[in-house]
Amino acid sequence: MKFATRAIHAGYERDPATHAVMPPVYQTSIFSYDRLGDEQPYSYSRSANPTRAALEANVAALEGMQYGLAFGSGMAAIDAVLRATLAAGDEVIAVADCYGGAYRLLTRIHAPAGVTVTFLDLTTRPEQLEDAIGERTRLVWLESPTNPLLKLVDLPRVAAICRARGVTTAIDNTFASPYLQNPRESGIDIVMHSATKYLAGHSDVIMGVVCTDNEQLAARLKLVQNSAGAVPGPQDCFLTLRGIKTLALRMQRHCDNALAVAGFLATHPAIDKVIYPGLPTHPQHELACRQMRGFGGVVTICLKDDTREAAARVAERLQWFALGESLGGVESIVNHSATMSHGSMPAEVKKALGIREGMLRLSVGIEDVDDLLADLEQALT
């Protein structure tokens, strides 16, 4: 079954009583028992809900994996992965230029709880893993492409290194979405999405999803999900399922528009650098061509005037790019990474990574691309 068909049909069999085409919103907290001691799949919606189950099965199918678990946010999903794989005294190795929220979770929540957190450049120097993995290393946390620098990790290479050492691999696959990349095919153990972004796709849901093929990992993730209770409600699950039905169409338009925007900005006199894996000038363009089925909807730009004031002027002049924290909606969004998505990251870390004051992250939406190009031109002039 091809991707677009799976996106529409996977995870839900029509109700034999009503023949409803869409999964119902099971807006209930409890499911009653006929007899004391009965076993049934649904009892309490924190533990399981049919609408949520349909979403979990759908996203797992899109990633080509057996198990899917939904959480109340992308951060709750990341936290569940860390809780399911790490204990005090263990080590997690994370890609250095990760999302600011993930950096904060690792350094301010899990590190004080006794987890050793090590950040490595796994994009340009994956061979570092060979020497970095130690006796207590339990997890390698990845992003590809990374946020906001759009660097890529050689997933098959990293997965092979970790598999040989018995280390679990997990990736935030939000920027690519299942439409562009299935990390399972490269040997990655756990795939996580902020479903808030491309999966739901309409900036109206906060949610995370984790998928795996490993039964033991799935059981531990389920334990965290049920015990900690950071689960989404059925209405949000319904909205995400509805959004996923158009994922293939939306992602293709995001990619087409982003490539056009990147090409336009690459020659603009106000721009110092354009970062986009789809441009031949991207240092990992060949890896992107091998590893992905497209290049995504995010373009990062560095202004020649590398100041926060210049970035603010451009961002505030844009008409069709909303100035906001998120990405992946049908509408275009501009983000000042240094103060927004990575505002919680220490200044010296951002400087070392290359997250500049004059850097803007563009989430290119599915509007008419001519309108977006005209908007960028007037804002930069």
Write the DSSP string, 269-327. Answer: TTEEEEE-TTSTTSTTHHHHHHH-SS--SEEEEEESS-SHHHHHHHHHH-SSEEE-S--
CA dihedral (41, 76, 234, 62) positive or negative: negative
Q: How many CB atoms lie within 10 A of CB 201?
A: 28
CA dihedral (328, 204, 25, 193) positive or negative: positive
The C-alpha atoms of residue 237 and residue 232 are separated, in whole angstroms, by: 7
Which one-letter DSSP state was computed for residue 23? P
List residues with catalytic annotation.
Answer: 46, 99, 172, 197
Whether the link from the prior residue into 148 is cis, omega within 30° of 0, is yes
How far is CA 152 from each of CA 147, 168, 230, 353, rounded to the nearest angstrom?
10, 19, 30, 14
User: 348: which residues sit within 8 A by CB, 6+ positions away?
Assistant: none
Side chain identity at residue 34, one-letter code: D
Side chain identity at residue 359, one-letter code: M
Q: How many CB atoms lie within 10 A of CB 175?
A: 27
User: 41: which residues sit within 8 A by CB, 6+ positions away?
Assistant: 48
Write down the H helix ranges in 107-214: 128-132, 155-164, 177-180
Compute, in degrees rounded to 10, the torsion defined by CA atoms 279, 284, 286, 287: -130
